[in-house]
Amino acid sequence: MIALTPLRPSATQIATTAALGAFVAALVVRPAPLPEDFYALVEGLAGILTPMIAALFGALAARAGQGRTRLGWWLMSAGWFSWGLGQLLWSYFEATNGNTPFPSLADPAYLGFVPLVFAGILVLAAPSTGPQRLRSGLDMLMVLIAVATLFQHLIVAEMLSHSDLPLWTRTLMIAYPVGDALLLVAVAIALYSDLRRTDGPVLVLLMLGLVMFLVADIGFSRDIADGIYVTGSSIALGWFFGFVLFARAAFLQMKQPRIKEVAEPPREWQYGWKQLLAAVLLVPTLVVLTTTEPSLSSAVLAVAFGVAVLVRRVVAIADGIELNRNLVAMHSELMKSHAEVEKQSAQLATLLRLEEDRARTDGLTGVRNRAAIDELLRRLDTGPRDLKSAVVLVDVDNLKSVNDRLGHLTGDRLLRAVARALADEGVVVGRFGGDEFLVLIPDAGVLEARTYLTRMHRLLQGTDISLDPSETLTIQVSAGYAIFPDDARVSGVLVGIADERMYAEKRAKVANARVYQSGAA
């Protein structure tokens, strides 16, 4: 049987699900009527405690981090503290004046939340180099202008239509949802930028918290515009659960190991996604700008968007030129490296060939050594059986006597002279033993072998080694041959036959010398 592993949701999933569920339930099912003072008290306490707790966890997350992470969380912690301070001022003004304190001095503290958190998100998502910051900043600017344009048409225009309210009040009504929307876009961009993967769950919690803030602030602004907002409404649950998620995100950040910040290479789908998002938002933005009545705000947004797009295109062109220049330089360096590698490869091949030749060459005579000759004989055993070859064994007569009488240097000269005499075109010569040489003649029979031996003896007869001005050393050798496959089909047997014939010639020389000496006597 296959054992199924039970699913165990993480604390982050539980907190997120509970917060979203409670918020949606509170919006759909209004709680039973309770005294307004009770709602005001609960909202006041929760509105002060939750941002302060989130700010505390944010500060702890900042202390646990380093570099950009530390600065980003300090800024967000300051933003959450600013909101808590605004809630404290709101509760004080409401308790002392007895009415809804909007607008009031609490609003700057509330809205201080937006730039501080926005700056913290930008610091977390900021690329490491100046050019990357410029590109990301332009991409984010285009997205933010597009979102601001859509908000201006869908929400801001409606709120500005309440001409009975002062301009300052209408401006503050607009600032809350617009600020949340900008933060939401910033978190979305940070989530898909080149951050470490471990930051993903943290940013998701921040995004969900900002979604709740956005819904709550839109509801707050509409109720203020309609004059029906009262402290203790279910709208405040959006802020409450938003800060719960913020605190959970900070707590999750605290638990991450402190590692050196290294930007992770973006996955393939991340390349250019911010430009794609800006292009997608461009269509509804242009529709809004061309279908609505001209106004100063729409004109400013249109000009800002156009300038951002133009500058981004200039940067893209400059990037393309720089990329082309770098590719040309890289190609040049690559060609140089390729030429250098080819040169080194040729040198290495030459060295390897020399080493192979050295490993197969007898150091004294310059012909093949015993290992190379053995390899050739093995090839003869495994080669075609119908191709004739001659194996010739040559023994230097009286080498031991020369070494004993005249010294090893003279013996070495004798061996080198024999090796030179054995060399011929198309044959392979190797030193088979101390005073023996083996010659392999490919595609040769008896006639070719005898012709080769005749040539060898003729050369050696004219080659004497000078010992001093009045004395020379005559070179004498004995030789025997065997034909493959006529005499044998195995190289070992073939060499044995050639060896027997060689020693037969040597014995014949000794016998002739004795007959000559006895006749002379």
The CATH architecture annotation of domain 11-257+270-292 reads Up-down Bundle (1.20)
3-state secondary structure of 423: coil
Give the pLDDT mean for 99-111: 82
Q: What is the pLDDT of residues 466-510, one digit of tens each?
A: 776 667 788 889 999 999 989 998 999 999 999 999 999 988 887
Q: Is the pLDDT of residue 114 over 90?
A: no
Structure pTM? 0.49
Query: Hey, what amino acid is at 13?
Result: Q
- Within 8 A by CB and 6+ apart from 494, the residues are 380, 391, 482, 484, 487, 488
Distance CA 216, CA 236 (A): 7
The pLDDT value recorded for residue 197 is 46
The pLDDT value recorded for residue 228 is 74
**For residues 170 and 159, is the Cβ–Cβ distance under 8 A?**
yes
User: Can 11-257+270-292 and 370-519 be said to share one CATH topology?
Assistant: no
- DSSP assignment of 27-46: HHSPPPP--HHHHHHHHHHH
- DSSP assignment of 269-286: GGTTHHHHHHHHHHHHHH
Q: What is the pLDDT of residues 396-430, one digit of tens each?
A: 988 888 898 888 898 999 999 999 989 888 899 99
3-state secondary structure of 261: coil
Beta bridge partners of 479: 394
Beta bridge partners of 481: 392
pLDDT band at 3 (very low <50, low <70, confident <90, very high): very low
Helix, strand, coil % (nearest 5) of the chain?
70, 5, 20
Domain residue spans of the chain: 11-257+270-292, 370-519
The pLDDT value recorded for residue 393 is 94
The pLDDT value recorded for residue 427 is 93
Q: Is the pLDDT of residue 516 over 60?
A: no
The pLDDT value recorded for residue 126 is 60
The pLDDT value recorded for residue 7 is 38
Q: 275, 124, 284, 276: which is closest to 194 by C-alpha?
A: 124
The pLDDT value recorded for residue 298 is 64
Give the pLDDT mean for 115-134: 72
3-state secondary structure of 176: helix
Q: Is 72 exposed, middle or buried (0-12, 13-18, 19+ CB in 10 A)?
A: buried
Backbone dihedral angles phi then psi of residue 323, each to the nearest 5 degrees: -65, -45
The pLDDT value recorded for residue 295 is 62
Calculate what percentage of the chain has a pLDDT beyond 90.
Answer: 17
The pLDDT value recorded for residue 221 is 74
Q: Is the pLDDT of residue 19 over 60?
A: no
Give the pLDDT mean for 264-281: 50
Backbone dihedral angles phi then psi of residue 407, each to the nearest 5 degrees: 100, 160
The CATH architecture annotation of domain 370-519 reads 2-Layer Sandwich (3.30)
Q: What is the pLDDT of residues 449-477, one digit of tens each?
A: 999 999 988 888 767 777 766 677 888 89
Distance CA 233, CA 212 (A): 15
Cα 261 → chain centroid: 17
The pLDDT value recorded for residue 433 is 87
Dihedral sign, Cα of residue 252, residue 258, residue 263, residue 269: negative
Q: Is the pLDDT of residue 201 over 90?
A: no
Q: What is the pLDDT of residues 230-264, one digit of tens each?
A: 666 777 788 888 888 888 888 888 877 655 544 44
Q: Is the pLDDT of residue 22 over 60?
A: no
Q: Is the pLDDT of residue 301 over 50?
A: yes
More confident residue, 460 or 40: 460
Q: What is the pLDDT of residues 325-360, one digit of tens each?
A: 888 999 899 999 889 898 888 888 888 887 777 888
Cα 125 → chain centroid: 21
pLDDT band at 290 (very low <50, low <70, confident <90, very high): low
Q: What is the pLDDT of residues 363-391, one digit of tens each?
A: 899 999 999 999 999 988 888 878 899 99
CA angle 433, 482, 474 (to 5 degrees): 50
Phi-psi region of 375 (alpha: psi -120 to 50; beta: other; left: phi over 0): alpha
Query: Hey, what amino acid is at 5?
Result: T
**CA neighbours closer than 13 Å in the CB half-sphere of residue 258:** 10
Q: Is the pLDDT of residue 202 over 90?
A: no
Going from the C-alpha of 24 to that of each of 54, 176, 427, the distances in angstroms are: 21, 21, 98
Q: What average pLDDT is seen over the chain?
A: 76
pLDDT band at 447 (very low <50, low <70, confident <90, very high): very high
